[in-house]
Amino acid sequence: MLVYFSFCAFTSAAQVSTFEEGWLYWTRYFLEVETGEKTMFGLELDNRRFAEADRQYQSIGRASLMRQSHDWVSFGGGLSYSMLYSLFTSVIQPEIRPHQEVNFSYGEDRFNFNHRLRIEQRFVGDTLRQIKNGEVAIEENLGTYDFTIRSRYMLSMDFVLVDKKEEKGHFNFETNAEIMVNDSIEEWLDTLRYYFGLKYFLSRDLQIHLGYLKSIEKEYQFDTLFDYENIRFTLRHRIRKGD
């Protein structure tokens, strides 16, 4: 019910005229390397494909450096590179995306909560799209970039389902909700996401995540709304200092 009302509010505010729906599968790899007592280097590789046609939707690479300020606060920044594949032609839209973020975490018994605020400076490749007789006639990259700032807020919760008090064999339930908004008045609504899934610890430093993600996203500078159902698989790997 919450997802339904959020979807209606989002689509009404976005004032879109075209809807695209579909099923996708996301595969992600997270590498976390401890570079110091309170610092962590992160590398994320994210690949997103349509399930029905088995064709590419988006590829993202992200590198970041985080510092733990206190037990409950961490902050840092990084750089992403995205390739968004057009639904209509063979054009690939590039995006360069520096970001800064801060995390506030706290836990109680089996529950863990995290608030994340991320600010992104988006350099999005400009594309020209011409429509003729209801179909796409021409689409091309212009070789220039448009700039906007996007703010992202995520609230996530992690609950321990099975804890054997060992370094492997733990099962956790995890969920999160995230909203993204741009600084442009005309383009301020960007993305709304909900996620539910399970996390399994293969070892202390190796986890697998599998879950369902609902993604509602307005295409930047166009009037198309993407309403996608996603199955997301994640492999998360940590390398500790001294290992």
Instruction: Report the Cα 65 to chain-centroid distance in Å.
Output: 17
Q: What is the mean pLDDT of each run of 10 residues along the chain (243 residues)?
A: 49 60 95 94 97 91 95 95 89 96 93 97 88 73 91 96 76 95 81 96 94 89 82 96 73
Beta bridge partner(s), residue 207: 201, 236
Rounded to whole angstroms, how far apart are CA atoms 149 and 38? Answer: 29
Name which of 198, 152, 200 is nearest 175 in CA terms. Answer: 198
Across 8-30, b (16+ Cβ under 10 Å) vs e yields eebbeebebeeeeeeebebebeb
Q: What is the pLDDT of residue 97?
A: 97
In the numeric block, the tokens 């996401």 are attached to 193
C-alpha distances out from residue 1 to 10, 179, 213, Å: 14, 17, 16
17 closest CA partner among 228, 227, 229, 222: 222
pLDDT of residue 4: 47
Of the candidate CATH numbers 3.30.230.70, 2.40.160.40, 2.60.40.420, 3.90.226.10, the domain formed by 2-239 belongs to: 2.40.160.40
- What pLDDT score does 3 carry? 47
Q: How far apart are CA 185 and CA 188, in angstroms?
A: 5
Structure tokens, 192: 């709304």
**pLDDT value at position 101?**
98
DSSP state at residue 88: S
pTM: 0.87
Q: What's the CA gap between 188 and 15, in Å, rounded?
A: 11
**Are 79 and 125 within 8 A, CB to CB?**
no
- Quote the pLDDT of residue 21: 87
**Domain ranges within the chain, ordered by starting residue:** 2-239
